[in-house]
Structure 1
Amino acid sequence: MEDNQLMCLRWKDHHSTLMQKFGSLIKSDNLVDCTLAAEGKFLKAHKVVLSACSPYFQGLLREHYDEHPVFILKDVKFNELKAMKDYMYKGEVNISQDQLAALLKAAESLQIKGLSESNP
């Protein structure tokens, strides 16, 4: 009789390795495949990260098959956009207390997981 016992292979530091790699990707702009724009300034990003962190971006990216789409966000300030991008890549962001309400409002409109209550 053949022994078909399942073996579980686990990467012990998988989460920390991915977080470290995301950090290096955000700094180097390697493999970016979309651009976010606000107030005439641009941030490069990765579709997979945006889609994983926001149902709003996931819906946009499902509909736009362009190789490198550019999303212009009219009602978002650039510093808010940068803070949300940092949050999506690093899982945290430091902002001043006086910027908190505006950041949360922008995050709500973009449905950023962890910052927004409107996650479908």
Structure 2
Amino acid sequence: MLPQQYCLRWRYHHSNLQTMFSQLLDREAFCDVTLACEGRTIKAHKIVLSACSTYFESILSQYEEKDPILIMKDVKYIDIKCLVEFMYKGEINVEHVSTPRTYIAYK
């Protein structure tokens, strides 16, 4: 006879995970990649960038360094900042005039 199985469910797993990743980003805790553009940097987590973007997954899979720095040419700092925030939080507030640039950067 097979042992009886139980389903354990974490009721707020998705929202808790999203909140924790956002807090880690805000504190720059356990960050393992740096995005650089316009002379400024943003620290992030490879796992989040790769999970949210095939572009970042492709780029990051090529790096063997522990904490790579990605130089983002032809991208505005505000756009990459919004993009990273969108990846971590699932939503962002942007001015109407910057929406197309942010959308293009995300694609």
Class of the TM-score when normalised by the shorter of the 2 chains: over 0.9
CA distance in 1, matches of 2:103, 2:15: 27
Structure 2 unpaired stretches of 5+: none
Q: Compute the TM-score of the two structures, normalised by the length of structure 2.
A: 0.95
1:25 aligned onto 2:18: no
1:22 deviation in Å?
A: 1.2
Alignment of 1:1-120 (within 5 A): 2-108=1-107
2: CA distance between counterparts of 1:5 and 1:76?
55
Find the aligned partners of 2:50 and 2:82 in 1 and give their Cα distance: 17
Deviation string 1:60-82 (CA, Å, 9 cap, x unpaired) is: 11110110000001111000000
Deviations 1:27-58 (A, max 9, x none): 10000001001111100000000000000110
Which segments of 5 or more consecutive residues in structure 1 lack a partner in the other structure? 109-120
Offset at 1:4?
A: 2.1
RMSD: 1.0
Q: Identity of paired residues, percent? A: 41
TM-aligned CA deviation for residue 6 of structure 1: 2.3
Q: TM-score, normalised by structure 1?
A: 0.85
Q: Aligned equivalents of 1:63 and 1:95: distance in 2?
A: 32
Structure 2 partner of 1:116: none
Quick one: distance in 2 between partners of 1:13 and 1:78?
33
**What secondary structure does 1:63 align onto?**
coil
